[in-house]
Amino acid sequence: MKKILTVQDISCIGKCSLTVALPIMSAMGVETAILPTAVLSTHTMFSGFTFCDLTNEIAPITRHWKEQGFSFEAIGTGYLGSFEQIDKVAEIFDIFGEGAIKVVDPVMGDNGKLYPAFDMAFAKKMATLCSKADIIIPNLTEACFMLDIPYVENEYSREYIEDILRRLTALGCKKAVVTGVSFDGALLGCMGYDSETGEFFEDYNQRIEQKYHGTGDIFSSVFIGSLVRGMDIKSASALAADFVCDSIIATQTDETPIDYGVHFEKVIPSLCERLKELK
């Protein structure tokens, strides 16, 4: 069975990072190895969260894996909490990266703002990890911070996003997908670029104004799962974007809405249906 290694925190409540990656990737029929970088009571958008840093566990765990001869078809990274963790993840790419698709989701912010724990120096550091990846999947906010350009909301052209994608791949990765792209009020989606073929692609769904937490992590989970299931980057992006959109719709129609995360659990069956078309 194909195996993904996903490296990010466990936020015990809040439907993000490993608590979404593990169920989604497993449902996609791929073995999911986890490397938790920290344990938090909730994600950092709740006040008063607890935080147990697991940075010191990374080297012993990966050393043991190396001794056991484990390997992965893909390595995906998400929320990382410190410069040191970024360095450690770069080492994981060195140790286990050969033959694996390395995907970095540079989780740092959204809607034009960095999350409270991060600053510009962190964004620059994250850009160095992106240079070691095969594919990066920032949202528009994260892309702008890593490139140190102003974040523009809505009023931009397709050429503007193409320029951002070219600059992202110039960091060193071959392919980039930017999420949260919208040229009009009605649609929201992603645009991607393969620097080896010079090809751009895009995919949009209906725009839903309500913002939910953890949707980037859900996109990332389906995206990486799809790549390992043999889909190309364009189809993987489209399936991931559809799943996020369906999850948001499933959350909105819920009678007991919650103020965090989306009900991705409800649309896992339809994701599995779509995967049946693949062998």
Piece in contact with ligand PXL (CB under 6 A), picked from 9-17, 94-102, 242-250, 265-273: 9-17
Handedness of CA 11, 138, 230, 89 (dihedral sign): negative
Bridge-based pairing of strands 109-110 and 101-104 is unpaired
Taking the least distance from each CB to ligand PXL, the nearer of 205 and 220 is 220
Q: Give the interface size with ligand PXL as a residue count (CB under 6 A).
A: 15
| Distance in Å, CB of 247 to ligand PXL, minimum | 13
Q: Which residues pair with 175 in a beta bridge?
A: 135, 194
In order of 26, 34, 78, the CA distances from 108 in angstroms are 25, 20, 9
Taking the least distance from each CB to ligand PXL, the nearer of 175 and 213 is 213
Q: Could you give the CA distance from residue 87 to residue 77 in angstroms, rounded to a whole number?
A: 12
Piece in contact with ligand PXL (CB under 6 A), picked from 10-18, 64-72, 174-182, 197-205: 10-18
| Distance in Å, CB of 105 to ligand PXL, minimum | 9
Q: Could you give the CA distance from residue 139 to residue 188 in angstroms, rounded to a whole number?
A: 12
Q: Could you give the CA distance from residue 98 to residue 74 in angstroms, rounded to a whole number?
A: 10
| Distance in Å, CB of 138 to ligand PXL, minimum | 12
Give the residue, chosen from 4, 5, 9, 164, that forms a contact with ligand PXL under the rule CB under 6 A: 9
Q: Could you give the CA distance from residue 114 to residue 123 in angstroms, rounded to a whole number?
A: 9
Helix, strand, coil percentages, rounded to 5, for the chain: 40, 25, 35
| Distance in Å, CB of 10 to ligand PXL, minimum | 9
Closest CA to 142 of 241, 248, 73, 216: 216
Q: Could you give the CA distance from residue 80 to residue 155 in angstroms, rounded to a whole number?
A: 30
Q: Could you give the CA distance from residue 84 to residue 154 in angstroms, rounded to a whole number?
A: 35
Give the residue, chosen from 4, 5, 7, 16, that forms a contact with ligand PXL under the rule CB under 6 A: 16
Give the residue, chosen from 4, 5, 6, 11, that forms a contact with ligand PXL under the rule CB under 6 A: 11
Backbone angles phi, psi at 43, to 5 degrees: -70, 175
Q: Could you say which residues in the range 24-43 bind ligand PXL, by CB under 6 A?
A: 40, 43
Taking the least distance from each CB to ligand PXL, the nearer of 144 and 275 is 144
User: Radius of gyration of the chain from Cα atoms?
Assistant: 17
Q: Could you say which residues in the range 166-225 bind ligand PXL, by CB under 6 A?
A: 213-214, 216-217
107 binds ligand PXL (CB under 6 A): yes
Taking the least distance from each CB to ligand PXL, the nearer of 115 and 200 is 115
| Distance in Å, CB of 225 to ligand PXL, minimum | 17
Taking the least distance from each CB to ligand PXL, the nearer of 9 and 203 is 9
Q: Could you say which residues in the range 32-91 bind ligand PXL, by CB under 6 A?
A: 40, 43-45, 79
Q: Which residues bind ligand PXL (CB under 6 A)?
A: 9, 11, 16-17, 40, 43-45, 79, 107, 115, 213-214, 216-217
